[in-house]
Amino acid sequence: MKMYDVVIVGGGIIGGSIAFDLARRNLRVVVLDRQEFMHEASWAAAGMLSPAPDCPAAIPLVPLGRASLALYPKFVDAVKDASGLRTGFRTGGAIEVICHGEAERELSTLVALHHGLGLACEPLPLDEARKMEPAIGREARAAALLPDECSIEPRALSVAVQAAASSAGATLLSGVEVASLAHDGKKCAGVKTSSGEIYHAKEVVLAAGCWSSQIPGVEPYAPTLPVRGQMAALRHSGAPIRHVLRSERGYLVPRGMESPQTVVVGSTIENAGYEKRITSGGIEKILSAANELAPELANAEITETWCGLRPGTPDQLPILGPVDVDGLVFATGHYRNGILLAPATAKLIGEWITERRVFLDWDPFSPLRFTPANADRSATA
């Protein structure tokens, strides 16, 4: 009989980081993934570590994002110590460039919004912005510096987290598809695989990204849906870009400081089901945004294009915590922020499973917010 303290469904950055945390707490942990680990959204991500909200719906996420960013330096050190591998973590900030609309008014709104949320953000005169980043183009009308933001190389981080979890004692099994939850009376007591094997556990952590909702019985708690994002990597020989550069239309994330330099550019936000397809319209959109931000990239070589499926949710917030079924815990729906939120998610789930307390208020992210009882209550409130 396969018996563990915890079974984690899904070996992306979320499942892997939770496994690393729980294994260090001396629990017997197994992570099951139906394919190679870290080959879905976590592999596709750009790697911006930005707690700033990208729309009003994301404002409740800011405290969790800030907490996770603060955990990052220790998290990457621990991953590096356990795995011996690099993660490409970089501090140094991001520059937000405004190219359209009433730039000065948008800049004041941006700065005020950030300050109101406790995030550092200062207006950056364009001549200073260009001294810091000569690549910034003539279309720029205003700019702001977000000095605390960081970035990471998601593929390097993913490989390192996987190795770290394994060296801390977690068992990682690829090619094992979870077909359903296994119950013992009302309690969740493990999972059943598509080949009929049962993995018994005291706790099951659901971390299957946008596919979480496809596991029978999970959808009422985790109505995740895929949101496609297309990306491209460019190699250019100009002066290396040092900061993450963002505009209303897209972003650039530098990888390394050597010349020729690789810059990752993105991304689209598409409701295209589970189809992972790169389209000419998608690539045209992200390249034109990149070329507007940094026109010399028009001469860069396109070295790779790819896409991934973000785990979206109806309210754009993650799905974290226990439900009304004992032994079942959720860690999914991280949408556009799963790389940023991995350290805080791992800490929250680790604390909940071992101590039944957590370091910050995670009620806004409870899976129970989607269940009919709560939907009815909010409808009559």
Ligand X SMILES: Cc1cc2nc3c(=O)[nH]c(=O)nc-3n(C[C@H](O)[C@H](O)[C@H](O)COP(=O)(O)OP(=O)(O)OC[C@H]3O[C@@H](n4cnc5c(N)ncnc54)[C@H](O)[C@@H]3O)c2cc1C
Closer residue to ligand X in complex, CB, 99/218: 218
Stretch that binds ligand X, among 38-46, 52-60, 232-240, 352-360 (CB under 6 A): 38-46
Q: How far is the CB of 117 from ligand X (least distance, A)?
A: 17
Question: Would you count residue 9 as binding ligand X (CB under 6 A)?
Answer: yes
Among 6, 14, 69, 143, contact with ligand X (rule: CB under 6 A): 14
DSSP string of 85-145, one letter each residue: -----B-S-EEEEE-SSSHHHHHHHHHHHHHHTT---EE--HHHHHHH-TT--TT--EEEE
Question: In the complex with ligand X, which residue's Cβ is closer, 78 or 176?
Answer: 176
Answer whether the bond into residue 260 is a cis peptide, omega within 30°. yes
Site string for ligand X, 47-86 (x = CB under 6 A): xx--------------------------------------
By beta-carbon proximity to ligand X, the closer residue of 142 and 246 is: 246
What whole-number distance in Å separates Cα of residue 330 and Cα of residue 61?
Answer: 17
Shortest Å distance, C-beta 354 to ligand X: 21
**Residue in 6, 7, 8, 11 binding ligand X, rule: CB under 6 A:** 11
Contact 328, 206 (CB under 8 A): yes
Using the contact rule CB under 6 A, the part of the chain among 89-97, 112-120, 160-168, 204-212 near ligand X is: 204-212
* 166 lies in the site for ligand X, by CB under 6 A: no
Task: State phi, psi for 304 to the nearest 5 degrees.
Answer: -160, 145
Phi-psi domain of 209 (left: phi exceeds 0; alpha: psi -120 through 50; beta: other): left
| Cβ–Cβ under 8 Å, residues 144 and 96 | yes
Q: What character string, x for contact with ligand X (CB under 6 A) and - otherwise, covers 289-328?
A: -------------------x-xx-----------------
Give min distance, CB of 131 to ligand X, in A.
26
Count of CA atoms in the C-beta half-sphere (13 A) of 305? 17
Q: How far is the CB of 141 from ligand X (least distance, A)?
A: 25
- Interface map 231-270 toward ligand X (x if CB under 6 A): x----------------------------------xx---
Contact 220, 206 (CB under 8 A): no
Nearest-approach distance from CB 338 to ligand X, in angstroms: 2
Closest approach of ligand X to the CB of residue 123, in Å: 24
Give the E-state strand segments of the chain in sequence order. Answer: 2-9, 29-33, 48-49, 94-98, 122-123, 142-146, 150-151, 171-174, 178-184, 187-193, 198-206, 225-236, 244-246, 251-255, 261-266, 301-312, 319-322, 328-332
Matching residue, tokens 């931000």: 293
Choosing from 6, 22, 40, 182, the residue that interacts with ligand X (CB under 6 A) is 40
Q: Which two tokens stand for residue 171?
A: 């068992």
Give least dist CB 38 to ligand X, A. Answer: 7
Q: Rounded to whole angstroms, what are the CA distances from 275 to 26, 66, 149, 271?
A: 39, 32, 32, 10
The residues with which 251 forms a beta bridge, in sequence order, are 246, 266
Give the interface with ligand X as residue ranges (CB under 6 A): 9-15, 32-35, 39-42, 44-48, 177-178, 207-209, 211, 215, 229, 231, 266-267, 308, 310-311, 332, 334-340
